Amino acid sequence: MAARLKRSKPLIGILAKAIKPLPERDNLLLLAARGEFEKLSQAYEARIRHAESERMKRVPALLEHYGIAGPITTDTLLQLVLCMGEELYPGLRVETPDRREGRKRVWDAAAQLELIEEVEQERKRHKRLTQLGACMNLTKSGRRYSKHGGESLLRIYRKARQTYPQWAAMLALPEWQGVRALITERKKLRP
């Protein structure tokens, strides 16, 4: 027995209802028994034409269900076949990896030192602000780090402090004004 198909979204409207057969005017078996093959052939052909016309009425609804826009053409029908096939056959599905696509987010030494500097400046501006609070302030909308969450920025900040403890301490010294100036220049270049 075939496995039950799990659809991406439920069928509604005309797609949710089965096609009703034509009402039988003549019993096909009775016609066959009597030898009235001409009437039998006509009745059978009428049933086939009815089923085909009902199926064709459902094609636009199927296209809409799968999000395929446009008139019924060879291309749209091919798209429909592929969409339906993806639901039925695992071999037609394209699996995406679990990890994020795109380039890796790398925090080079200059970016990490810049983050240390900005967190320290934020803590100096707002007394009694914790490291997390400073990181949360830096992630507010319109700020440079608005794409990051506060906790993730705090993790990056703490890792940078561990990696460059001497640098972080030296940035606080007046002799390192030049390095701070370079960091400030770098900030101006970034959007």
Cβ-based neighbour number of residue 51 at 10 Å: 14
Q: Is the pTM of this model over 0.75?
A: no
Cβ(46)–Cβ(25) below 8 Å: no
CA distance 81 to 95: 18
Residue pLDDT, tens place only, 103-157: 566 777 778 888 888 888 888 888 888 989 988 888 887 777 878 888 888 998 8
Residues shown for the chain:
191
CA distance 86 to 6: 11
pLDDT at 183: 64
Question: 131-138 and 109-125 helices cross at what angle (nearest 10)?
Answer: 110
Percent of the chain with pLDDT over 70: 71
Which long-range CB contacts under 8 A does 172-180 form with residues at least 24 apart? 172/120, 179/113, 180/117
Mean pLDDT in consecutive groups of 10 residues from the start of the chain, 191 residues:
55 77 67 73 81 87 86 89 84 72 68 84 87 88 79 88 70 60 62 51
